[in-house]
């Protein structure tokens, strides 16, 4: 990641947002997985946002997500979760019986947005969790 390129990267998210909006319009909201492939600061566990010739800055995961993804993305994931809570697909076991537990999407609170940070120390830092918890809850 280079200084200031998050603006260009946020523009690249428009293709994914168009897909998400179409899926919402079709009534089949999508699940989302985000993989953040960057380094974490050894001492703080914060994620590296810039580097190279611009030196490095480390920030919380929420700052990276909100810098690289436009608010429209979060609106789509929230809408997908709301819609999916209303979806109650019939689920049967291999021998055509109802399973002993409800593992449908609606029972788990709807589709989710999963964020994966690939550098080990990042998930050892408690300050990342409030943002991730809010993302799942909302």
- Tens of pLDDT along 53-102? 555 677 888 888 887 788 898 899 888 888 877 776 777 788 888 877 77
State whether residue 72 is helix, strand or coil. Answer: helix
Distance CA 21, CA 130 (A): 27
Domain membership of residue 20 (yes or no) is: yes
Domain with 18 in it: 6-88+99-137
Domain count within the chain: 1
Going by pLDDT thresholds of 50, 70 and 90, the confidence category of residue 1 is very low
**Total count of residues recorded for the chain:** 138
Extended beta strands in 1-138, E state: 32-36, 47-50, 57-59, 113-117
Q: What local confidence, expressed as pLDDT, does residue 125 receive? A: 67
Structure tokens belonging to residue 9: 């990267």
Other Cβ atoms closer than 10 A to 18:
11
> What's phi and psi for 69, nearest 5 deg?
-120, 130
Domain membership of residue 121 (yes or no) is: yes
Distance CA 14, CA 7 (A): 12
């Amino acid at each position: 990641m280079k200084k200031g390129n998050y603006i260009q990267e946020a523009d690249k998210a428009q293709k994914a947002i168009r897909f998400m909006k179409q899926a919402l319009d079709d009534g089949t909201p999508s699940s989302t997985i985000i993989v953040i492939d960057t380094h974490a600061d050894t001492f703080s566990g914060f994620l590296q946002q810039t580097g190279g010739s611009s030196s490095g800055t480390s920030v919380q995961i929420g700052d990276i997500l909100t810098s690289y993804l436009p608010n429209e993305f979060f609106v789509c994931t929230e809408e997908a979760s709301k819609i999916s809570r209303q979806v109650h697909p019939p689920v049967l076991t291999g021998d055509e019986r109802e399973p002993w537990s409800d593992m449908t999407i609606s029972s788990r609170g709807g589709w989710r947005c999963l964020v994966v940070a690939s550098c080990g120390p990042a998930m050892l830092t408690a300050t990342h969790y409030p943002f991730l918890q809010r993302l799942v809850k909302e």
